């Protein structure tokens, strides 16, 4: 039998090294609660918006997995809205067919593609027995008025067949401007179906938020169905002695705050998940070889990890491109 501190797999195969994991955040938890409320009460038209690198795409993956665990019969479909100079109805329906898993996504006329998509979705929903479909449209600020109309056609066709459709638009803050423009042009058929409820997606705002996320590393396990939490895997001896990553919340927050203040940013620290996870990954991977019973992560190591995460340079690049009058990631 292997000792409790001997890893069962190679470090290079771990999900954290492959960056193929998601830890829950307060914003993700709030998003999932909104989805559960929409399911319970049949509410549609929710749009979630936040700045780049805040973890919106990862949030979609997370909530889809949560839905599969809590509501295994509900059909979900997520797709990335494509950026294109020319909008094609044929390409739009091909893209949705691909997302739905249809084997003939690119052949035939537009009318055939529409029909295939409708039949595919109806088939999946009828097989589930739930008569409910949840759609997630990521990077939805890329959609134009024609694409919204094509999406509305799908929504209305499914509704006529007795299928309840819940649509969640996921995008950058431009999505709010898009909603305002649609309201001003009286496009109520789009706003009413897809944009009635706004959900701001925030970064990490406090030590408590950081602690919530670090607790995810102490609780999430890989390989599945084992008790090898992420923290235990990278620091097995320290973990066996009672160490938990959540105890580092204040040190990590202060390292980001110091970097933020040194850069003289004029907005309050709102930490994007991209740089938080990169800092944690750097510390765990680089220091796995130093693990011992009394090992602890020093403040200097956290500061180095924050520097290597490129948080400061990324923020400088992002906010230098903001229009005049906007000075930080405030989205509420």
Residue that finishes a domain, picked among 183, 200, 217: 200
Q: Give 122's contacts (C-beta < 8 A, 6+ positions apart).
A: 158, 161, 163
Structural domain that includes position 305: 204-319
pLDDT of residue 164: 96
Pair of tokens at residue 83: 């950026």
329 domain residue, yes or no: no
326 domain residue, yes or no: no
176 and 219, same domain (yes or no): no
Q: Does the structure show a pLDDT above 80 at 200? A: yes
91 and 43, same domain (yes or no): yes
3 domain residue, yes or no: no
Query: How confident is the model over 164-182, as a mean pLDDT?
Result: 96
Q: Does the structure show a pLDDT above 80 at 328? A: no
143 and 258, same domain (yes or no): no
pLDDT of residue 320: 66
Question: Using CA atoms, how far apart are residues 272 and 277, in angstroms rounded to an integer?
Answer: 9
pLDDT of residue 99: 95
186 domain residue, yes or no: yes
252 and 286, same domain (yes or no): yes
Kindly report, residue by residue over 67-123, the tens digit of the pLDDT. Answer: 999 999 999 999 999 987 778 999 999 999 999 999 999 999 999 999 999 999 999
182 and 284, same domain (yes or no): no
Task: Name the β-bridge partners of 47.
Answer: 169, 198
Q: Give 297's contacts (C-beta < 8 A, 6+ positions apart).
A: 248, 251, 283, 287
> pLDDT over 70 for what percent of the chain?
95
Question: Using CA atoms, how far apart are residues 211 and 209, in angstroms rounded to an integer?
Answer: 5
- Using a 10 angstrom Cβ sphere, with 0-12 exposed, 13-18 middle and 19 or more buried, the burial of residue 17 is middle
The per-residue pLDDT of the chain, averaged, comes to: 93
13 domain residue, yes or no: no
Q: Does the structure show a pLDDT above 70 at 130? A: yes
37 and 79, same domain (yes or no): yes
109 and 146, same domain (yes or no): yes
Residue that finishes a domain, picked among 155, 185, 200: 200
Smallest CA-to-CA distance from 160 within 150, 168, 152, 171 is with: 152
> 199 with 170: CB under 8 angstroms?
no
Task: List Cα–Cα distances, 88 to 92, 94, 139, in angstroms.
Answer: 6, 10, 18
3 state DSSP class of 2: coil
37 domain residue, yes or no: yes
Task: List Cα–Cα distances, 184 to 104, 170, 192, in angstroms.
Answer: 39, 21, 13
Q: What angle do CA 36, 22, 172 make, to 5 degrees?
A: 70
3 state DSSP class of 325: coil
177 and 304, same domain (yes or no): no
31 and 165, same domain (yes or no): yes
Residue that finishes a domain, picked among 149, 176, 200: 200
Could you tell me the strand order of the sheet in which 164-171 lies?
Answer: 75-80, 132-138, 164-171, 46-49, 197-200
**Interaxial angle between packed helices 89-100 and 145-160, expressed in degrees from 0 to 180 and rounded to the nearest 10:** 50
The total of structural domains in the chain comes to 2
228 domain residue, yes or no: yes
3 state DSSP class of 243: coil
- CATH no. for residue 195? 3.40.50.300
Kindly report, residue by residue over 219-272, the tens digit of the pLDDT. Answer: 999 999 999 999 999 999 999 999 999 999 999 999 999 999 999 999 999 999
173 domain residue, yes or no: yes
Query: How confident is the model over 25-44, as a mean pLDDT?
Result: 95
180 and 209, same domain (yes or no): no
> pLDDT over 90 for what percent of the chain?
89
Q: Give 326's contacts (C-beta < 8 A, 6+ positions apart).
A: 319
Smallest CA-to-CA distance from 214 within 149, 133, 134, 302 is with: 302
Phi–psi pair at 246, nearest 5 degrees: -60, -25
258 and 288, same domain (yes or no): yes
176 and 229, same domain (yes or no): no
Phi–psi pair at 76, nearest 5 degrees: -120, 150
């Amino acid at each position: 039998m292997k000792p409790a501190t001997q890893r069962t797999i190679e470090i290079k195969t771990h999900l954290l090294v492959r960056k193929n994991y998601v830890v829950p955040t307060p914003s993700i938890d709030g998003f999932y609660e909104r989805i559960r409320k929409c399911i319970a009460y049949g509410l549609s038209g929710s749009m979630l918006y936040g700045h780049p690198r805040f973890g919106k795409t990862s949030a979609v993956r997370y909530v889809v997995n949560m839905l599969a665990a809590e509501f295994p019969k509900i059909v979900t479909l997520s797709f990335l809205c494509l950026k294109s100079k020319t909008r094609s109805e044929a390409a739009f329906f091909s893209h949705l067919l691909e997302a739905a898993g249809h084997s003939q996504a690119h052949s035939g006329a537009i009318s055939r593609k529409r029909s295939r998509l409708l039949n595919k979705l109806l088939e999946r929903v009828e097989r589930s027995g739930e008569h409910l479909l949840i759609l997630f449209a990521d990077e939805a600020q890329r959609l134009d008025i024609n694409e919204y109309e094509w999406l509305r056609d799908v929504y209305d066709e499914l509704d006529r067949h007795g299928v309840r459709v819940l649509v969640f638009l996921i995008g950058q803050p431009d999505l709010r401007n898009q909603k305002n423009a649609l309201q001003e042009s009286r496009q109520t058929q789009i706003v009413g179906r897809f944009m009635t409820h706004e959900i701001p997606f925030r970064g990490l705002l406090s030590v408590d938020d950081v602690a919530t996320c670090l607790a995810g590393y102490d609780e999430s396990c890989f390989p599945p169905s084992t008790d090898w939490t992420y923290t235990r895997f990278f620091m097995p001896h320290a973990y066996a002695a009672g160490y938990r990553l959540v105890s580092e919340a204040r040190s990590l927050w202060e390292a980001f705050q110091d970097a933020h203040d040194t850069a003289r940013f004029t907005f309050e620290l709102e930490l994007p998940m991209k740089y938080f996870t990169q800092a944690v990954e750097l510390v765990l991977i680089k220091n796995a070889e130093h693990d011992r019973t009394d090992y602890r992560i020093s403040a200097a190591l956290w500061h180095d990890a924050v520097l290597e995460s490129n948080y400061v340079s990324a923020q400088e690049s992002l906010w230098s491109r903001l229009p005049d009058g906007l000075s930080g990631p405030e989205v509420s």
